[in-house]
Amino acid sequence: MPITPATATHSSSNGTVDAILLELVDENGMTVGTAEKLAAHQPPGQLHRAFSVFLFDERGRLLLQQRALGKYHSPGVWSNTCCGHPYPGEAPFAAAARRTYEELGVSPSLLAEAGTVRYNHPDPASGLVEQEYNHLYVGLVQSPPRPDAEEVGATAFVTPTELAERHAKDTFSAWFMTVLDAARPAVRELTGPSAGW
């Protein structure tokens, strides 16, 4: 697994663990400060920058991931290919490509911007709140995923019909349908009408 600030435990010279900071934004997506990651998700939540990635195979199927059971936020639920938070000052596009590789062991092809969406989704299971200004990306995956078990419990490629069936019986992240619906125009442009998105 690649070692990055998001995947390593950092110890400073005095032996304390460094905090992971998120970029706080206003309603227009302009940076207004930073906050520690867990603190930003405590109710009522602080509006922060995030990203969501949707990758598709050559047949137009969406790559889903099931979040690892060890994650403190939304463990074990199914969600889009990859989601996360840029570091303060990191371009969302770069963060999206970086985290997709770190979590799934694949580098997206033709990764393209698909707009932004702002939402407020409390997570009933954890009590945490997703107050996010989310940058959306769509692209292709052209090699088999090699997920990091600490991040990803399972993966699945699904058609729209298979997604509807899975969504009816499995638990998905609170934000999944919001980000998918916001990305649909770009998804349709990428996958074409025959894929059915």
Enzyme catalytic residues: 83, 132
Q: Give the count of beta carbons closer than 10 Å to the beta carbon of residue 50.
A: 28
Tokens of 31: 């940076």
Distance CA 160, CA 119 (A): 23
- Residue 97 tokens, joined: 């490509």
Question: What's CA 56's distance to the chain center, in Å?
Answer: 15
User: Are the C-beta atoms of 51 and 37 separated by less than 8 Å?
Assistant: no
Q: Could you give the CA distance from residue 2 to residue 67 in angstroms, rounded to a whole number?
A: 18
